[in-house]
Chains A and B, each alone.
Chain A
Amino acid sequence: MKLGTYISGGVHVGFIGWLLIGDIFRSEAPEPEVTDISVISATEFDAMFASSAAPEIEIDLAQMPAPPTEDELEKLVELSQDIAPELSQVSDPDLPQERESMPDVTGLQLLPDAEVSLEVPTMAMPSLDAGPDIQIDNSPDSNPREAPRIAPIPVIRPQLDAAVSDTVTEAAAEAEAPEVVEVDEQDAAPEEATTEIVTEAEKPAGAPTSVPIPKLRPQPKPDLAAPEPSPEPPSLDTTASALADALAEAQSVDEAPSVQESEIPVGPPMTFAETEALRVAVSSCWNTGSLSSAALRVTVVVGVQMAETGKPISSTIRLVSSMGGDSDAITQAYEAARRAILRCGAKGYDLPQDKFGQWRDIEMTFNPEKMRIK
């Protein structure tokens, strides 16, 4: 046992001693880089840096060219835009040959703005004797029918061998042409209106010289449930029929109410949309253009009784109250309001029939505050 210990101890001591004495952990130090330097004096140092300083430049402002003005700058910009950069031609056979066929766009110029006519073309009123009336259903719920490619009714082939009658018929005398009364539609139609006054001083150059014609107001839908049979076949004399219609319409404004009180349908209250439609309709006929400035300061309340057809009864129109102005101005304001009610009501206002009791009596307040000459 002791022998083993001695052997082991001796071997370890020997190994450690070999490690310490045998230069096992010694490393060789790298050789330092050596640079040759030379020592200079302070005078030589200053002389060296003085030679690298920026040179001083004296600027004589008097000899400087004046800076370009805005106009010259604009010209310079234009010139720089006009001068295309010179590109050296690259002759590379590998480039696609399509480039050579590209269009030359250097000569292209911007197209001037297209002239747009601001004048709305006026739709010519058809002449009364132009032909029979064509009723066009423009109601939104009407679907256009496809035109039949084949006539639904077979056409009877005309007899080639017409039989000759034994009785002699006299040649028909040329009918006497009906007297045509020319009605100048353009003169009778109302002109375009505007609610805004633009003076010559305010009108911009190139402003439209005509006022766009307002769109036609949609007409009340025909009562599809109970269509009235046409009393007579349409006459070919459209002039006479148009005049007759116009006269009948003009006369019908004054017709008296024929409805008994108990028969008047009251119905639910008027909706906002219904009263608004009436207001807009009357507004379109309230012409304040010919009113004096004094009358334009008068607010009048005008009462009117309506017929069941929606037409105002002219004999019932009355001045309920007024505010501002003297008696003459009140009279002018009232007359203008009365004209408005009667003119636009000539064909009957678009009012719900089932609420006749609600709109049989109407009081309209005409307030010209927004229409005054400012």
Chain B
Amino acid sequence: MTRLFAIILAVLALAVPVSAQQGPLRIEITEGVIEPLPFAAPSFVAVNADAQEVGADIASVVAADLVSTGLFRQIQDSAFISGITSFSSPVEFADWKAINAQALISGQVSTDGNRLVIQFRVYDVFAGQELGNGLQFAGTTDGWRRMAHKVADAVYSRITGETGYFDSRIVFVSERGNKGDRQKGLAIMDYDGANVQLLTDDSSIVLAPRFSPTGDRVLYTSYETGFPRIYLLDVGSASRRVLEQQPGSISFAPRFGPDGNTVVYSLATGGNTDLYRMNLNGTGQVRLTSSPAIDTAPSFSPDGSQIVFESDRSGSQQLYVMPATGGQAKRISFGAGRYGTPVWSPRGDLIAFTKQHKGRFHIGVMRTDGSEERLLTASFLDEGPSWSPNGRVIMFTRETQGSAGSASLYSVDITGRNLQRIRTPYGASDPAWSPLQ
């Protein structure tokens, strides 16, 4: 009886008119959907015959960049009702609405000898409006791929409101050979795995390369002399020099400061490992920590005021934050398991880390005060996170189990979605993402 009464009341409540309405009808929407945004990217119109092929290639790279984010979904050309035959003609929005394209990328390409010019526009199909103004990039035909990445960055920025990360590169450790006898060398490639180039030979072990804030130099650790030493490598010329060398000490885990002239690193002397900083020219060395524990893996905050690092001073490996000039360190990780390799997000709001718990490795993120910890991945061995320039994606190393196991690069969105493997010709580990070029 009571139930019947409740049902009657509920039905009546639904049918009762909302209180007398004054002005427009008002509703509040608090929940939506999270799904890739469908877009159309027809081949860029070729102004001259020579540009025909590159026009299709550019549209293809732009689409691949957007799709790789997991935020967009490409509508295949076969679904198009009408294509783009002229860059200057008005867009038939109804044709694109009919196939549910919410964004349209229209462009044209012209070549003149070795010179390549790309013009493009982005449209909000359902609003029937252009998003921003049209843009034009000019360069050489050899650089068409990088220009396509720039177009994709612009499109991504106009739709999401965030800067892109497609025109960026990855420096990493290329690994060849069996697990017990791997040959490692430094290599560099585009963010999507294209244009792989070796920066060093694989005669000695190299570890943990890190880009400078300008993207033209790389710090890394090498066992070239039999002991780990920090090297500074110029990406353009591949020339390098030893950055830090103290007799009887071991230096490793270097990372640039946000000004590009400061380096923070670990130095092991007399069986104790502490953090130091110095200028890039080798002067001004300052000891930042002085605990009997192992302090390592330092990373600057984007404003350069703080450093996050890992230490076992509490008995287990945990994360700590201290002022960039040294001083009192504050522990920020308190979950079960061990935490390591912290990296501060370019946005400054999150810290990525590696976590080992119950025999599994995770890549996770937490607030800079240690709150809101979220684990994004789980596998036999995940480690070494590196942030994309816009702080939206994390790239890391994943190693498979067993004697035949190999290391590969993976990327994952900070929401934990869109886990993807980055294709490399050989095994790969220790990725470091460059800033936007």
Contacts and interface: CB of A to CB of B under 8 A. Distances in A.
Contacts of A195: 31-34
Nearest to B162: A292
A289 B127 contact: no
Interface stretch (B216-224, B290-298, B414-422): B414-422
Contacts of B78: 182, 184, 187
A48 interface: no
A369 B33 CA distance: 13
A335 interface: yes
A287 B34 contact: yes
A173 B306 CA distance: 84
Nearest to B355: A201
A362 B25 contact: yes
A224 interface: no
A253 B97 CA distance: 10
B18 A269 contact: yes
A184 B71 CA distance: 21
Contacts of A289: 33-37, 71
Contacts of A182: 78
30 contacts: A181-B81, A187-B75, A187-B79, A191-B35, A193-B33, A199-B375, A200-B412, A200-B416, A200-B419, A202-B375, A251-B94, A253-B97, A253-B126, A270-B25, A271-B15, A272-B14, A272-B18, A286-B32, A287-B32, A289-B34, A294-B161, A339-B126, A343-B102, A358-B21, A359-B25, A367-B30, A371-B34, A373-B414, A373-B415, A374-B374
Interface stretch (A68-76, A116-124, A273-281): A273-281
A183 B81 contact: yes
Interface string B71-99: 11101101101000000000001110111
Given A290-B159, A371-B31, A201 B378 contact: yes
B27 A279 contact: yes
A200 B376 contact: yes
B31 A342 contact: no
A274 B94 CA distance: 29
Interface in A47-106: none
B416 A283 contact: no
Contacts of A370: 30-31
A290 B418 CA distance: 13
The 9 closest A-B pairs by CB, nearest first: A199-B416, A286-B32, A201-B375, A193-B33, A246-B98, A250-B97, A332-B161, A361-B24, A184-B79
B205 to A, nearest CB: 30
B207 to A, nearest CB: 26
A256 interface: no
A194 B32 CA distance: 9
Contacts of B28: 279, 364-365, 367
Given A195-B34, A201-B377, A183 B99 contact: yes
A361 B23 contact: yes
A275 to B, nearest CB: 6
A314 interface: yes
Contacts, number: 227
Contact of A314 (B76, B128, B364): B128
Contacts of A271: 14-18
A356 to B, nearest CB: 11
B95 A247 contact: yes
B29 interface: yes
Contact of A288 (B33, B128, B372): B33
Interface of B: 13-21, 23-38, 71-73, 75-76, 78-79, 81, 93-95, 97-100, 102, 124, 126-128, 131, 159-162, 362, 364, 372, 374-378, 412, 414-417, 419
Interface centre among B20, B27, B35 (most CB of A within 10 A): B27
Q: Which of the listed residues B160, B362, B377, B419 has the most CB atoms from chain A within 10 Å of its own CB?
A: B160
Interface string A238-254: 00000100110111011
A339 B32 CA distance: 12
B374 A199 contact: yes
A332 B25 CA distance: 24
A249 B376 contact: no
Contacts of A194: 33-35
A364 to B, nearest CB: 5
A284 B33 contact: yes
B392 to A, nearest CB: 8
B377 A188 contact: no
Contacts of A284: 32-33
Contact of A340 (B32, B36, B374): B32
B79 A272 contact: no
B91 to A, nearest CB: 12
Given A188-B100, A269-B21, A198 B161 contact: no
B96 to A, nearest CB: 8
A191 to B, nearest CB: 5
**Quick one: which of A249, A254, A278, A373 has the most chain B CB within 10 A?**
A373
Contacts of B95: 247, 250
Nearest to B15: A271
Nearest to A333: B161
Interface in A188-210: 188-195, 197-202
B161 A314 contact: no
A148 to B, nearest CB: 39
A328 interface: yes
B22 to A, nearest CB: 10
Contact of A183 (B30, B32, B79): B79
A191 B70 CA distance: 12
A309 interface: no
A270 B21 contact: yes
A369 B19 CA distance: 26
Given A361-B24, A362-B25, 14 more contacts: A190-B35, A193-B33, A197-B415, A197-B417, A279-B28, A289-B34, A290-B159, A291-B161, A343-B102, A363-B24, A365-B26, A365-B27, A366-B29, A368-B30
B24 A362 contact: yes
A342 B14 contact: no
A267 B333 CA distance: 61
B160 A374 contact: no
A328 B25 contact: no
A183 B79 CA distance: 5
A279 B17 CA distance: 16
